[in-house]
Amino acid sequence: MRLRTSVDHGVVGEVATAIAAAGGMVTAIDVAESSSNRLTVDVTCSAADAEHAAELQEAVAGVDGVEVHKVSDRTFLIHLGGKIEVGSKVPLKTRDDMSLAYTPGVGRVSMAIAENPEDVRRLTIKGNAVAVVTDGSAVLGLGNIGPGAALPVMEGKAALFKRFGEIDAWPICLDTQDTDEIVRAVELIAPGFGGINLEDIAAPRCFEIEARLRERLDIPVFHDDQHGTAIVVLAALTNALRVVKKELGEARVVVSGAGAAGTAIVKLLLAAGVRDVVVVDRTGALVAGDADLSVAHEELASLTNRESRSGGLQEVLVGADVFIGVSAPGILKPEWIETMAEDPVVFALANPDPEVDPAQAARYAAVVASGRSDFPNQINNVLAFPGVFRGLLDARAHEVTVDMCLRAADAIAHVVHDDELNASFIMPSVFHPEVHHAVAAAIAHKPE
């Protein structure tokens, strides 16, 4: 906050006191300007959220002799002008530099690629380029907010690709939610990329888009909301079961949420050897043969719920070893966890508000994880996708396979060594120096 105050340095102390009384934390106070009749003071403080920030502003405005002149949110400040840029990897300082990087030298390179198309990955950015493609229909937990509003998220994704995978990624926000148009648009831009990362596209449309693109393109197509989530959940479950000394094949798992993430999680868990999975959506457990199920849910039901359990979440949770939530906030009452098997595992991954408060869940569960960074055991896709694409690009892969996803999950899990593993530490930090290299090596099938 930039404040204009009377010439009384005691006012600064009153401002700090007002912020503290309103639950804020002052991190810096600077006198930006001083004159004979007015001080200009910059106050930087931390708030819990946007609503709390407004409360702090109101508290400061209530101090006698203080005018709140301007307020800046540091989240918005880092987005000004966007978060990514294009930079040249070669010097362009002289006429000779230009003749090599552009005309006439570039013509020889173009002809070489025309004669040997496989060289395009080696002689251009294609070998290290990923398109991050969205239609803006399922952005974070914000819903169908459109391609423009999705752009900051795609920019952030591209920045993460660069930071953790040294990959050049471009946000591609399509102004259509027509499946045919999306598939065709991606087909048309594919020659310039070594991989396609589909992002924030609503189910069930995302399933068809991914399937058709995988069939038509000779580069890997990866829907992170599905497969990235599935990889990190399997990694976390592997380690959680190591903590409680249970085997994947013995665990009874309840998955809440039958959308893109839930479907991919279930399929990868089954591929990993989990045998007993029940999927629950807002109407209850999915049971094969139910005439009211959609095509996608009927397929999921046919793969799961081998004992045809019926009822809602509370009923099917009884006796289960694991709860995995990728659904909606507050749907799991903490006391229901007490009805689960001994040493239950609870993953409440709905964002920003999980299915159950992690602190409340920890009263009953042996291991609790969420998608949040303010609780132990954050399950975050950033652990997976940079390394996944690094491995795909390094291997010049043409597709993403289930086996690759299984290897990636195992690599993430085993970055946490036995002597580090405990109920509050089942996942490595995204900043762990080994995790992305381990995932890349696993995808490329190269021993570390």
* Residues 249, 367 share a domain: yes
Confidence of residue 198 (pLDDT cuts 50, 70, 90): very high
> What CATH number does residue 141 fall under?
3.40.50.10380
Q: What is the mean pLDDT of residues 376-382?
A: 93
What pLDDT does 158 receive? 97
> What CATH number does residue 27 fall under?
3.30.70.2690
Three-state SS at 259: coil
Q: Is 397 exposed, middle or buried (0-12, 13-18, 19+ CB in 10 A)?
A: buried
What pLDDT does 327 receive? 92
164, 195, 219 - which closes a domain: 219
* Residues 417, 329 share a domain: yes
* Residues 330, 195 share a domain: no
* Residues 171, 105 share a domain: yes
Three-state SS at 56: helix
* Residues 153, 210 share a domain: yes
What length does the chain have? Answer: 448
What pLDDT does 446 receive? 61
* Residues 371, 319 share a domain: yes
Domain presence at residue 90: no
Confidence of residue 251 (pLDDT cuts 50, 70, 90): very high
Domain presence at residue 87: no
Average pLDDT score over the chain: 93
* 434-438, Cβ contacts within 8 angstroms, sequence gap of 24 or more: 435/383, 435/387, 435/411, 436/164, 436/165, 436/386, 436/387, 436/390, 437/387, 438/387, 438/411, 438/412, 438/414
Domain containing 211: what range?
A: 95-219
Q: Is 139 exposed, middle or buried (0-12, 13-18, 19+ CB in 10 A)?
A: buried
What pLDDT does 418 receive? 93
* Residues 302, 213 share a domain: no
170, 189, 219 - which closes a domain: 219
Domain presence at residue 88: no
* Residues 305, 402 share a domain: yes
Claim: this prediction has a pTM higher than 0.75: yes
50, 79, 108 - which closes a domain: 79
Rounded CA-CA distance 354/21 in Å is: 29
* Residues 215, 235 share a domain: no
The DSSP line for 275-341 is -EEEEEETTEE--TT-TTS-HHHHHHHHHS-TT---S-HHHHHTT-SEEEE-S-TT-S-GGGGGGS-
Condensed to tens digits (0 to 9), the pLDDT of residues 31-47 reads: 888 887 888 999 999 99
- What percent of the chain clears pLDDT 70, i.e. is strictly above it? 99
Q: What is the mean pLDDT of residues 394-416?
A: 96
Q: What is the mean pLDDT of residues 404-419?
A: 96
Distance of CA 30 to CAs 14, 56, 89, 310, 367, Å? Answer: 14, 18, 40, 62, 45
Any idea which residues carry the catalytic annotation? 102, 157
Give yes or no for residue 59 having a pLDDT over 70. Answer: yes
Distance of CA 385 to CAs 108, 125, 136, 172, 392, Å? Answer: 35, 19, 19, 17, 10
Task: Yes or no: say if 141 and 350 are a contact pair by the CB < 8 Å rule.
Answer: yes
Rounded CA-CA distance 344/240 in Å is: 10
In the chain, the largest separation of any two C-alpha atoms, in whole Å, equals: 82
Domain presence at residue 177: yes
Three-state SS at 395: coil
* Residues 334, 202 share a domain: no
* Residues 231, 134 share a domain: no
Distance of CA 187 to CAs 153, 212, 219, 394, 409, Å? Answer: 23, 10, 10, 22, 29
Q: What is the mean pLDDT of residues 317-328?
A: 96
- What percent of the chain clears pLDDT 90, i.e. is strictly above it? 83
> What CATH number does residue 291 fall under?
3.40.50.720
Give yes or no for residue 139 having a pLDDT over 60. Answer: yes
* Residues 345, 439 share a domain: yes
Domain presence at residue 89: no
Measured in degrees and rounded to the nearest 5, phi and psi for residue 221 equal -120, 125
Rounded CA-CA distance 135/158 in Å is: 16
Give yes or no for residue 447 having a pLDDT over 60. Answer: no
Count how many domains the chain has.
Answer: 3
Mark out the alpha helices in 166-294 (DSSP H runs).
Answer: 179-189, 205-216, 229-244, 260-272
What pLDDT does 293 receive? 87
Give yes or no for residue 28 having a pLDDT over 80. Answer: yes
What pLDDT does 311 receive? 94
Three-state SS at 76: helix
Condensed to tens digits (0 to 9), the pLDDT of residues 219-245 reads: 999 999 999 999 999 999 999 999 999
Q: How many CA atoms lie within 13 A of 274 on its CB side?
A: 28
Q: What is the mean pLDDT of residues 89-118?
A: 93
What pLDDT does 285 receive? 94
